[in-house]
Every structure is written in C-alpha cells, then in structure tokens.
C-alpha cells in the first residue's frame, strides 16, 4: 500500500501523458546501444595534452587536482566535448563512454583532474562524499548500518544513485583505475523503456511505482535513533516527472526501499513486492540489459534520471595494489537545465 503523503511536485497522475512528454528523451533496448557507436567517444588529443600540462603545472607548485588553483582553468576544447556529451546524455542514449586515457602512462592524478574538469564543464560537481569518491571493496557488509554497496564486492542490483529525498545527482560518472580478477561487469538498462513496457502490459504495476516508497539512507556520523517522521519524510515514488528537471525521473534501489519500510515498521505489502518484482523483470528483460566491462582509463557517464546501473559481484586480487578501483563523481541537475541542441559539429576527432 502506498505511503500517504501530500501530493508532491512531480507526481504522475496520467501515466500515458508521460509518453508524449518524454518523446525527446532516449528510450533504448540493448541492441540500440550495440549498434550505435556515437556514445563511445575517444578523448581528443588536444584535451589530453592540455590536462597533462595543467597537471604538471599543479604538481610543480605542490597543488593537487582538487586544489582551488585547478578550478576555473580553461582546458582547450573541453566545452565542445561537454556539449556533445550533454547531447548524448539527454537526447540519444543517456550514456557516454570516454576512452583513450592511459592510466599507466598519464597517472591517476591526471585522470582525477580530467574527470573533475569534465564535471565542471557539464555542471556542478556535488561534494557529498568528497568531489570524487573511491569505489572499492573495503571488506564491509552492506547489511550492517551505514555501509554503502560501493564499499563491498556485492552486486547492488539495478539502481540509480542516492536514496536521499533531497539529493538527486543528475549525472553519475565512473572512472576505472583497475578491474577485478573476475566479475565486476557493469550492467545498464533504460527506465523509460521499462516505463513504456509496463504501461502497455501492466499499468496497475506502473501506477504503484508512481506512488511513494520509504527509502532508507545513510547519514554520516548520525547520532541517536532516527525518528519515524524522519524516516517517513524520506519517501518518494520510483517514477516522477518534472520535479528535478523537465523530464522523467526514476529513483530506484530495491534494498534501500525494503530497509526503509522495515525500519519504519511499515512492511511492504504483497502488492508492493509484486510491483517491484515486475519492474525488476522489465529491467532485466533479455532485450533490456546492456553489459560492458570498463577498462582502466575508461570514464562512463550516466544520466541518473533515466539509466539504472548495476555491477556483477566480483572476486578481487590478493595484492592491495591490484584491487578493483573506480572513482565516482556526481554532477548536479544544472547539467540538464541548459538546452542541449544537437552540436553543429559532432566530430571530435579533428580537435
Ligand atoms: Fe551506483
């Protein structure tokens, strides 16, 4: 049974009306990504060389990639790259993969500098757990309080990032430094495609997904017990329209919904569980899931409103210096507030 709260901005009353309003947004199935090469972009040499010069300049003066001195510096052609990326993130796929950064040759610090500079070119880099957050297995158990899936080697299942009602990153970026010994494969699915499928086949399930669910969330350094009203306040639907930007938003992670309802002592009903199961089935449909293994140096950018991501469970290396390591960045929704017309020049190979 949905949790009763005040009707909120973004609540979807007319399920079918969303389809006409989202025609500009990208819906895809696995084969569309497989046959579309445009979302895979090789980082132009001019950008790489500018970043390396800037990194050298910073290091020579004892600064780091996140020093204030690194902010506001112009990197040649970065705005053009950001323009093309914004177009793909909002209009064609919701996913961009950047390749061509050689971690072994250029170094991790230059990679962090490049990632953060791309973030600033797209919008605001959110500083929730530092500007860049290290995703690696810290040997923790996600079932314990205040443990993120990103600190474990477990598969979190399909999700969007952030379960905080007040914090919705627009873009999630992951920069791969090292891969695991086995597993850790990234999985992507499109939630607008799932919405369309459910509207056609199971509208009653979609209706439930457009009502609220309680979400548990991690509060760093939380003292005492969270009140029921605080828990209830962190409730929102899986699907909303227009709350964060002019488009459809999906916010989903099964574990944090189950934990939220459990801790509030308002267990999910059979109907709720059925709706979540059917949504998961739509996302995991054999035509839906696109899989890729990020390689060291790859940077993937996801529209966090439209694309759910997952990674398979992984077996890591014994040696600490070889362990799987990704760096995550969140970019705010101001990345989507600007119009994203098709760039005049989509060819980045000449810059
Ligand atoms: Fe994630």
Which tens digit of pLDDT belongs to each residue from 249-264?
Answer: 999 999 999 999 999 9
Instruction: Tell me, in angstroms, the distance from the centre of ligand 1 to residue 201's CA.
Output: 28
3-state secondary structure 118-165: HHHHHCCECCCCCCCEEECCCCCCCCCCCCCHHHCCCCCCCECCCCCC
Arithmetic mean of pLDDT over the chain? 91
Using a CB cutoff of 5 Å, list residues around ligand 1, an ion. 161
CB neighbourhood size of 38 (10 A): 12
Per-residue tokens: 177: 């430094």
Instruction: Tell me, in angstroms, the distance from the centre of ligand 1 to residue 346's CA.
Output: 29
Rounded CA-CA distance 220/146 in Å is 7
Highest average pLDDT, of 2-6, 135-139, 337-341, comes from 135-139
Of 266, 193, 258, 199, nearest in space to 229 by CA: 266
Of 236, 157, 239, 237, nearest in space to 191 by CA: 239
Rounded CA-CA distance 298/277 in Å is 32
Instruction: Tell me, in angstroms, the distance from the centre of ligand 1 to residue 310's CA.
Output: 7
Element (H, E) at 174: strand 171-178
Q: Is the pLDDT of residue 342 over 70?
A: yes
- Please state which of the ranges 81-85, 135-139, 163-167, 284-288 shows the lowest mean pLDDT: 135-139
Q: Comparing 39 with 150, which gets the higher pLDDT?
A: 39
pLDDT tens digits for range 177-221: 999 999 899 999 999 999 999 999 999 999 999 999 999 987 766
Instruction: Tell me, in angstroms, the distance from the centre of ligand 1 to residue 55's CA.
Output: 28
What is the percent of the chain with per-residue pLDDT over 70, rounded to a whole number?
91
Mean pLDDT of 29-37: 96
Within the chain, residue ranges assigned H as helices are: 17-21, 30-35, 45-60, 78-87, 103-106, 108-122, 191-201, 203-209, 228-233, 254-263, 270-283
pLDDT, position 74: 83
Instruction: Tell me, in angstroms, the distance from the centre of ligand 1 to residue 158's CA.
Output: 8
Rounded CA-CA distance 172/132 in Å is 11
CATH node for 17-35+132-336 = 3.60.130.10
Instruction: Tell me, in angstroms, the distance from the centre of ligand 1 to residue 301's CA.
Output: 12
3-state secondary structure 283-314: HCCCCCCEEECCCCCCEEEEECCCEEEEECCE
Instruction: Tell me, in angstroms, the distance from the centre of ligand 1 to residue 328's CA.
Output: 9
* Degrees to nearest 5, angle at CA 169 with 163 and 171: 130
Q: Would you state the torsion angle of the CA atoms of residues 30, 31, 37, 39, taken in this order, to the nearest 10 degrees?
A: -30
Q: Where are the domains of the chain?
A: 17-35+132-336
Instruction: Tell me, in angstroms, the distance from the centre of ligand 1 to residue 16's CA.
Output: 29
Instruction: Tell me, in angstroms, the distance from the centre of ligand 1 to residue 159's CA.
Output: 6
Instruction: Tell me, in angstroms, the distance from the centre of ligand 1 to residue 171's CA.
Output: 11
Q: Is the pLDDT of residue 349 over 70?
A: no
Q: For the chain, what's the residue count? A: 351
pLDDT tens digits for range 38-58: 999 999 999 999 999 999 999
Instruction: Tell me, in angstroms, the distance from the centre of ligand 1 to residue 149's CA.
Output: 8
**pLDDT band at 81; cut points 50, 70, 90:** very high
What is the percent of the chain with per-residue pLDDT over 90, rounded to a whole number?
75
Specify burial of residue 349 (Cβ count, 10 A radius: 0-12, 13-18, 19+). exposed
Instruction: Tell me, in angstroms, the distance from the centre of ligand 1 to residue 253's CA.
Output: 9
């Amino acid at each position: 049974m949905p949790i009763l709260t005040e009707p909120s901005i973004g609540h979807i009353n007319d399920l079918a009306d969303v389809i006409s309003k989202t025609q500009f947004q990208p819906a895809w199935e696995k084969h569309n990504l497989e046959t579309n090469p445009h979302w895979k972009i090789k980082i132009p040499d001019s950008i790489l060389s500018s970043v390396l010069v800037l990194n050298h300049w910073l290091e020579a003066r004892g600064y780091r990639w996140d020093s204030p001195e690194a902010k506001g510096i112009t990197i040649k052609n970065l705005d053009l790259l950001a323009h093309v990326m914004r177009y793909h993130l909002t209009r064609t796929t919701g996913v961009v993969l950047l390749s061509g950064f050689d971690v072994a040759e250029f170094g991790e610090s230059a990679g962090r500098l490049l990632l953060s500079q791309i973030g600033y070119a797209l919008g605001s880099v959110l500083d929730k757990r530092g500007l860049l957050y290290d995703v690696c297995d810290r040997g923790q158990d996600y079932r314990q309080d205040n443990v993120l899936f990103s600190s474990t080697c477990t598969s979190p299942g399909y999700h969007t990032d952030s379960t905080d009602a007040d914090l919705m990153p627009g873009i999630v970026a992951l920069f791969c430094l090292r891969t695991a010994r086995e597993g850790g494969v990234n999985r992507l699915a499109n939630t607008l495609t799932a919405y369309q499928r459910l509207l056609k086949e199971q509208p009653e399930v979609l209706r439930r997904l457009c009502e609220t669910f309680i979400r548990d969330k991690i509060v760093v350094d939380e003292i005492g017990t969270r009140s029921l009203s605080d828990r209830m306040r962190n409730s929102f639907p899986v699907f909303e329209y227009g709350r964060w930007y002019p488009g459809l938003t999906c916010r989903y992670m099964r574990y944090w919904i189950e934990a939220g309802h459990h801790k509030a002592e308002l267990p999910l009903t059979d109907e709720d569980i059925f709706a979540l199961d059917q949504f998961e089935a739509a996302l995991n449909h054999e035509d839906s899931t696109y899989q890729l293994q990020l390689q060291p140096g790859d940077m993937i950018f996801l529209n966090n409103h439209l694309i759910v991501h997952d990674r398979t469970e992984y077996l890591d290396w014994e040696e600490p210096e070889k362990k799987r390591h990704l760096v995550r960045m969140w970019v705010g929704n101001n990345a989507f507030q600007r119009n994203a017309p098709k760039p005049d020049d989509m060819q980045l190979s000449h810059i």
